[in-house]
């Protein structure tokens, strides 16, 4: 089943959700600010995206700038920061089987559905 890691307050995430709704396919919405993924779930998402943990971080968030920006962090520490502060996780993320994309731009979602 298709999954979307969604933040309803984010316009790109809402656009990504609309793409899924219009696709006619079944999907699951994970409001990741309410249901925070744990470290192993984030590791799995990062592996599917084929990116480094740092590439999943929203670097313009105040918590990143204030607490992490100028530090040398391991991948595990970056993932732990996203678990502790889920608003650091880039969104939306759409997973379909063994494929995943960050929906920026939202049209990128079309490649995997």
Output the pLDDT for position 22. 97
Output the pLDDT for position 62. 97
Range of the domain at 52: 2-111
DSSP letter, residue 105: S
Task: Identify the CATH number of the domain in which residue 69 sits.
Answer: 3.40.30.10
pLDDT in tens, 23-66: 999 999 999 999 999 999 999 999 999 999 999 999 999 999 99
What's the pTM value of the predicted model, to 2 decimals? Answer: 0.95
The answer to whether 79 is a known catalytic residue is no
Catalytic pick among 4, 10, 93, 102: 10
96-109-43 Cα angle (round to 5): 50
Output the pLDDT for position 97. 96
How far are the Cα atoms of 4, 19, 20, 101 from residue 84, in angstroms, in the given order? 20, 29, 28, 23
Q: What is the mean pLDDT of the chain?
A: 97
Percentage of residues of the chain with pLDDT beyond 70: 100
Domain count of the fold of the chain: 1
């Amino acid at each position: 089943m298709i999954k979307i890691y969604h933040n309803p307050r984010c316009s790109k995430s809402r656009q990504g959700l609309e793409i899924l709704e219009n696709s006619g396919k079944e999907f699951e919405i994970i409001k990741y600010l309410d249901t925070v993924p744990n470290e192993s779930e984030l590791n799995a998402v990062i592996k599917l995206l084929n990116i480094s943990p740092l590439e999943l971080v929203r670097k313009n968030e105040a918590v990143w700038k204030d607490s992490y920006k100028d530090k040398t962090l391991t991948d595990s520490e970056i993932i732990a920061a996203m678990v502790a502060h889920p608003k650091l996780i880039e969104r939306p993320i759409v997973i379909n089987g063994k494929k995943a994309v960050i929906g920026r731009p939202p049209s990128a979602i079309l490649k995997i559905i």
